[in-house]
Each structure stands twice: as structure tokens, then as C-alpha cells.
Amino acid sequence: MTEITLTRFDDVRDAYRQKGLKQALYDAAGVIMADTLLTLWGDDHRKRRRLENRLFRRDTFEHYERDLLPGAVDEVLDPAAAAGRGDVVPLARRIVVNLTAAAAGVDRPEGTPAETDRLYSYGVKFSEGATAVHSTRDPEELKAEVSDALDRWDEDFFAPSLDRRTEMFSRFAAGEITEDDLPRDVLTVLVRNQDALDLPRDVIRREVAFYLLAGMHSTGAATTHAVHGAFGWFEDHPDDRRRIIDDPVFLQQCVHESMRLHPASPVARREAMEPVTMRDGTEMAVGDTVVMDLWSANRDPEVFGDDADRFNPLREIRDDVPRWGHTFGGGRHACIGMELDGGVPADEATGAPILLGTVALILRGLLARGAQPDPDDPPEQDPNITRVWWGRYPVRF
């Protein structure tokens, strides 16, 4: 079998649009990722994506940004600011873990800090499993740990959440409750459409766990990279520290620029399920693979300029290119939560206001509280993963 690598922005975009290419990056993460939305292909992917897409609409994003995220940011950042220091990595993850759980369909009946701590620890372990392809740890040891965490999370959170939704849908079908009484989350969608999807329980369990880990994992990483990028920018543009807090457009541009430079995964991988012809005429046979080097494509100087390797939120980009590049994927596997994380620009045609997105709201919350690099405790990369990934990012307030 042949493997080709793509490094140019437009070549990667073409590959994302090829319908004959199937996700192939997460084979090593099957314990947590098998048969989830991210790894499906063809009709199975289309059916499940169509159902779950209904949860990720502008009114949902507005609800999160207006009603949920501000309180979550305050709850986590206020104590850290009062203490005078904190670590961006766990702070960002803790802000989003309960919100992500609500979107996934994981109930928190206790509503206590201890319950959040348990949920957080499960999410961290699931994230380790999802990034197994880039882990430096022993694969079998990691797999066993993730499998054990999944079983414990099932008993602790998933089984009660599934039972409650199953009971609620039975009552809804009997006319005892209305549509408005049903939760708006991924697990409810899967329970409600089980006749059409016919999913085994373990697949439903992994799908819900995937949404839990994806939100916490990617948002935490993106926030930490955005903090690092902003701190670097302030060294040469000190007046922009106030601007990033007050100017929502500039704030969002900073976040998108950081996302461009630091995609959640440095590569994407696809396998040909049928003969495919790439834009340069390269023929791929069934079983051939293509590696999309997102790190390089997002720094393509023909698209992003001669300073494409640098953090510059003011750069000019052509209209057909997202400011975050290929960070959220593309085609049918574009990240379903990209606008929740990255926000939505204002729409002049409709008058819809800007939605900042989760990462921008957390970044602004940190900077508004005076977050600065800790001169006595520099940030460190995570030694357990080959990605450019912050393991610790201490700050002072």
C-alpha cells in the first residue's frame, strides 16, 4: 500500500473533500473512539451526523455564551485570581467539563465540586486514550487504564444518565411529558433515534464519552495555546492587552490565529475506501493512505504570508480561507463543535452579533483578572505526548 503526505493548504482542503477517504488516525484509540462520529464513514456517518447536528445550532451557542459560560468562568477563575496564581491547563478544562457533560448527556445529580473532580479525572484519562497515536506511553498499559476508567465512569455517570433518558423517552412516547421536557443533548438524541440507528450500548457509551473528552481536551489545549500566543504578542504590543479585553473582534482574531498555528492534532490521516484522484492527478488505490500535515498546511506561506510561522492576529487572509486554517478539519468530518469553540463572526446581512466562542471567553476572563506568565515557574510541555502540547502553564494574577 502507498502512503502520500500533503503539506500545502489547498491540497489538504481537496483531500478533506474526497468522499472516498475514510478517517484513519484513531485506529490505536479504539477503546474510546471505535464507531464514534469522528471515525465513521459513509451512510453510518451521514445518518448520525445529521441527527447530532441539530444540537449545534446558533441558538444553542447563544444560550451557552449568554447563560452558561460566564458563570462557569467566574466559578473557576475567581478563586484562582483570589489565590494569586493558577495553571491554565486544569483551569480551562474545569471551566468546560460540566458544560461539555451537559451537551453530551452526562448528568451531575450531586452538583458538588467532588463530583466535578471525578468527572474531570475521567475526561483526562479518556483524552489520553484518544491521543494514543501520539502517546509516548506503553500502548497496552494505556489501553488498560482507559478501559478501566470507562467502566468506572459507566457505573458512576453513564448508566444513571442512560436510564433516566430511557425512562423519560418512554414517558414522552406515552404522552406523559412534552418535547420541552426532554434534555437537549447527544445521549437523548441517540436514545430517541435508537430504532433507526440500532446502536449497541457500548457504542452509545463511547459516543457520549467521546463528546465529553473532545470538548474538555480540545478546548483546554486551544485555550492554553491562545494564552501563550497572547502573552508573546503583548511583549511587542503592550497596549493590545487592554484591546484584547475590550475589542471582541480582535479577541476572536487572536484566538483564531492561535488555533491556526496549533491544530489539535498536527496531522490527519485518511484511507482510500475506493479509487481516488487527488487534485494534482495522483491516483490512490483502495487501501492507500494520505497523511495531511495540518501543521505545515496551516503555515503555508502562499496562503498565510511570509510570516506564516508567527503569531499575528492582524494578518490578511483571502476570503475563502478560515482564519483558523484546517484546525477544525474539513468536509464531512469538520468538527461538529468548531463554532462553539471558535465562535461565529457577526453577520452584517442579518444583524446577528458576534459570538466569541468558548476559548475567547476563557482567554478574556484570564486577562481581565490580570493573568501573566509566572516568572518563577515557566510552562512545560507534556512529556507523555509527541504533539506540541502544554502539560503545565502556570500564571499569576
The grid cell for 204 is: 452509545
pLDDT value at 387 more than 80 = no
Find how far residue 287's CA is from the centre of its chain: 28
The grid cell for 362 is: 476563557
pLDDT value at 29 more than 90 = no
pTM: 0.91
pLDDT at 25: 83
pLDDT at 122: 94
- Pick the more confident residue, 195 or 250: 250
CA 48, CA 247: separation in Å to the nearest integer? 38
pLDDT at 177: 94
For residue 355, report the phi and psi dihedrals to the nearest 5 degrees: -110, 120
Find how far residue 242's CA is from the centre of its chain: 28
pLDDT value at 129 more than 90 = no
Considering only CA atoms, which of 245, 378, 367, 237 is closest in space to residue 312?
Answer: 237
pLDDT (mean) for 234-247: 96
pLDDT (mean) for 136-159: 94
pLDDT value at 332 more than 80 = no
What is the percentage of the chain residues whose pLDDT exceeds 90?
Answer: 66
pLDDT (mean) for 132-143: 87
Considering only CA atoms, which of 138, 109, 150, 132 is closest in space to residue 265?
Answer: 132
Q: Are 198 and 74 in contact, with CB atoms under 8 Å apart?
A: no
pLDDT digits (tens, 9 = 90+) for 75-127: 999 999 999 999 999 999 999 998 899 889 999 999 888 999 999 999 999 98
Which stretches of the chain are assigned E, i.e. beta strand?
3-6, 21-23, 85-87, 267-272, 276-277, 283-284, 289-293, 372-373, 380-381, 390-392, 394-396
